[in-house]
Structure 1
Amino acid sequence: MPRDTLTRDQIVRAAIEVLDAEGVNGLNMRRLGIQLGSAATAMYHHVKGKDSLVVLAADHVFAEIELPDLDALGWREAAAALARGAHAMIIRHFWLIPAMTTHLIYGPNKARYDEHCLAVYESAGFCGGDADQAAAAVLMFAIGAAQGQAAESGWRARLRRTGVDEEQQVRDTMAQITEIAQQFPRLRARTGDIGDDGQDPFEFGLRTILDGLDSALKGKAGVSL
């Protein structure tokens, strides 16, 4: 694809496809050029380099999070919807977590999400820095809760890049994890039963955090009385 027919949006979307398949370590301008059928040098007419592209891609995927209607929902439902949207988005794009450890993620889509989060917590009654802290706590939980699935996706992407038998490696690793767990009574008792109680750990944690924020609001109201 000639460079004058490329757009930055095309490049960012192609980068996300590569990142979703191969992770941050699998993205480079040569690989992206192959994805787009263009010379690697053509990319530099639209983006500064890989680091800039990772930031652009990260901001782009934040646009996937649907913003709840504050007029139709209470603050708790709206906060939960934003957290679920962030959690699901990060699981879809596992590379976002390692990208966050090496890049400052910013842009209009991330700002749009942050702005709406602040509006939710301000509508609940949090003021100033308290609204910032509430929004940050819930987003950090959503990111942390996605860590396990994101790590597995990243690990699988690395296995694919190295060319090993992915499924055999997964079976061997799970067997090793099970063998280690057998040495510890509480882990041994739970082997094979994790998740069988029907309780979603993410929903449990989200509910607990929102309960805590709700309690903090009621405590402030009590003090003001």
Structure 2
Amino acid sequence: MSDGGGPGIWAVPERQGRGPRPAYSRAQITEAAVRIADAEGLDAASMRRIAAELGTGAMSLYRYVPSRDDLIELMVDHVLGEAGVPDRPSGDWRADLTLVAEGTRAMWRRHPWLTGLRRPQPTFGPNRLRLTEFALGALDVGISIDEILTLLDMVNGYVERSVRGEIEWMREMERSGLTPERWMRESVPHVRELIDSGDYPMFTRVVQEARLPHMSGDEQFRYGLERVLDFVAGALPED
């Protein structure tokens, strides 16, 4: 999720050469940065702010984390460890990808600052590699690696799009104080006018027939995920 690519910070030893034992670890710096970002947003997690939290000077932290991109890479890999996947796939690809999708959604919701990052170049953080290895392995069912990558990208794309929408909606509610129930009440007069006009038959069907808008966020997510996994199933060899 950082702007860098390749091995990045993972290619730089945490402790280089001889000398006194470091006063801090990258893990401590990363954990402090994540705490700040969770509470105040990603921009608040500056080296100066992290140093203040740790009780040291900002310049000293650059010995451990050379750049902002490196810090973000460490932060993202740290929270990816919360996805909670086992060491190996279970053999039930659908259950395994559901586990990945739901764990990833929960991770994004706990750390909404992730939405401020653009799509990453590949990096080699240990948690990202573990999650990727598990997800790819779940689809290792007799199809090519290119097919595995394409199908997994579809699942990941659905998860990311869905959770970004959820987080943006939550932010809008916080900003405006507008709840979904209040929004629906205030929209009723205009919606009735649109339906009565007869000009929007498909919109009318959405209002009158659709179940999705009345589902909880969890139910909506699972409904969409099941449709995506149905498509994946259609691309896999028959048992």
Residue number in structure 2 paired with 1:144:
161
Partners of 1:82 and 1:172 lie apart in 2 by 32
The structure 2 residue matched to 1:18, chosen from 1, 24, 36, is 36
Partners of 1:145 and 1:126 lie apart in 2 by 27
CA contact (8 A) 1:23 1:95 kept: yes
Residue number in structure 2 paired with 1:171:
177
- Residues 184 and 109 (structure 1 numbering): CA distance in 2 closer, same or farther, change over 3 Å? same
CA contact (8 A) 1:27 1:50 kept: no
Residue number in structure 2 paired with 1:45:
63
SS of corresponding position for 1:200: helix
CA contact (8 A) 1:69 1:78 kept: no
Letter in 2 for 1:212: F
- Residues 38 and 83 (structure 1 numbering): CA distance in 2 closer, same or farther, change over 3 Å? same
- Residues 32 and 179 (structure 1 numbering): CA distance in 2 closer, same or farther, change over 3 Å? farther
The structure 2 residue matched to 1:202, chosen from 214, 217, 221, is 221
Letter in 2 for 1:129: D
Which structure 2 residues correspond to residues 73-92 of structure 1 after superposition, within 5 A? Answer: 73-92=91-110
- Greater helix content: 1
Matched, 1:67 2:73: no
- Residues 152 and 52 (structure 1 numbering): CA distance in 2 closer, same or farther, change over 3 Å? farther
Q: CA deviation at 1:19?
A: 1.1
Matched residue count: 203
Q: CA deviation at 1:54?
A: 0.8
CA contact (8 A) 1:86 1:142 kept: yes
Question: Which runs of 5 or more structure 2 residues have no equivalent in the other structure?
Answer: 1-20, 193-202
Q: After superposition, give the CA deviation of every residue in 1:118-164 in whole Å (9 maximum; x if it has no partner).
A: 100113x33220001111111121111111233356x48xxxxxxxx
Q: CA deviation at 1:75?
A: 1.1
The structure with higher relative contact order (CA 8 Å, sep 6+) is: 2
If the length of structure 1 is used for normalisation, what is the TM-score? 0.75
Partners of 1:120 and 1:98 lie apart in 2 by 29
Name the % identity: 27
Which structure 2 residues correspond to residues 183-194 of structure 1 after superposition, within 5 A? Answer: 183-185=190-192
Which is worse superposed, 181-190 or 21-30?
A: 181-190
Letter in 2 for 1:83: A
Residue number in structure 1 paired with 2:150:
133
Q: CA deviation at 1:176?
A: 9.3
